[in-house]
Amino acid sequence: MSISVQNLTKRYKTQAAIDQISFEIKKGQVVGFLGPNGAGKSTTMKILTCFMPQTEGIAKIAGYNTLTHSIEIRREIGYLPEHNPLYLDMFVLEYLSFVANIFSLKNKRQQIDNCIELTGLTLERKKKIGQLSKGYRQRVGLAQALLHNPSVLILDEPTSGLDPNQVTEIRKLIRNLGEEKTVLLSTHQLQDVEAICDRTIIINHGKIVADKFTVDLKSDLGDNILIEIEFIEQVKLNFFEKIDGILKTEGGPNNFTINATKDANIQAKLWEEAVKNKLTITKLNQKTTSLEDVFKNLTTNANNP
């Protein structure tokens, strides 16, 4: 196991930031840590990177315990903290060589060059970090995390505040890195998870509410589907009552959203019924269930149980 967390709890005074969470991440997995603000994502990452200790529980990275083998773990991981803090008055090369010195890398020059090329900083390498745009700063942040070729990468919101093109590039980069390394990244952008992560852990109020492969998670909205339908004519709600499998209908007078069971073959029945009643359907489509729905479902239900 690359990362293993058992019953991890962190309490600030009496409030629990994370509460008895457990998960394990295998080598080479890319895992997305998803949750609303204040759910405990960053706290978990800070514990894993040995920035602060947990109140209870055990966290291990590459077999080392965070409480007893802090230095070994810090050699093993690459960490990009939230908000990507950097020394703005340093030059890109200067900063990377500083980080390389901390790790006392042997082939320093080569590692730095590799990293600069990998993160696409070649043109910016002689500039001051303070002069760079946010996207390039993010790359510098990633570069310092990758420099010593760590086996585990922990990235706290690597795509926040970037423009769509930059987001795509960073995602591609992480995706590529994920082929050899274990990556744990936090985000509240669901598209990130869909695009990069093999597996998603959703956390809310310090508890894990879902831990599944991203593919499974998407089909997990339950057995219900959402259908949007539009008629030319005005239709009364009781029109839908005749059809089997419809659970709930909202809207009107000619625009409806239908919540139905998945295998009831609702669309066909709707057409049939419409023809019978001489109604004209102008629009009929099934809303794809996105991760967003799953996310909303899981994180708002837990709010008011």
Partner 1 sequence: MLTILKKEFRSFLSLLIAYVVMIVFLLITGLICWVFPDTSILNTGYANMDILFNIAPWIFIFLVSAITMRSFAEERKNGTFETLTTKPITDFDIILGKYLACLLLVTLTIIPTLIYYLAVSKLGSPQGNIDSGAVIGSYIGLLFLAAIYVAIGIFSSSITDNQIIAFIVSMFLCFFFYSGFEMLRHITFIQDSPFGIDWLGISYHYKNISFGRIDTRDIVYFISMISLFIFLTKMMFSSRKW
Binding positions for partner 1, rule: CB under 8 A: 46, 49-53, 71-72, 74-75, 77, 79, 81-83, 85-90, 94, 98-99, 101-103, 144
Residue number, 94 or 113, with CB nearest to partner 1: 94
Name the minimum Å distance from CB 102 to partner 1: 5
Structure tokens at 144: 């310092």
Name the minimum Å distance from CB 106 to partner 1: 15
Paired residues of 199 in beta bridges: 31, 213
Name the minimum Å distance from CB 261 to partner 1: 49
Residue number, 133 or 277, with CB nearest to partner 1: 133
Q: Report the chain's C-alpha Rg in angstroms.
A: 24
φ/ψ (deg, to 5) at 286: -90, 130
* Cβ-Cβ contacts under 8 Å for 260 (sequence gap 6 or more): 224, 225, 227, 245, 246, 247, 266
Paired residues of 284 in beta bridges: 229
Collapsing DSSP to helix, strand or coil, 190 comes out as helix
Q: Rounded CA gap, 144 and 78, in Å? A: 8
Residue number, 51 or 239, with CB nearest to partner 1: 51
Residue number, 72 or 198, with CB nearest to partner 1: 72
Residue number, 157 or 194, with CB nearest to partner 1: 157
φ/ψ (deg, to 5) at 27: -60, 135
Residue number, 85 or 253, with CB nearest to partner 1: 85
Name the minimum Å distance from CB 49 to partner 1: 4
Q: For residue 283, how many other CB atoms are within 10 A of its CB?
A: 10
DSSP 81-124: -TT----TTSBHHHHHHHHHHHTT-TTHHHHHHHHHHHTT-GGG
Q: How many residues does the chain have?
A: 305
Name the minimum Å distance from CB 72 to partner 1: 8
Name the minimum Å distance from CB 142 to partner 1: 12
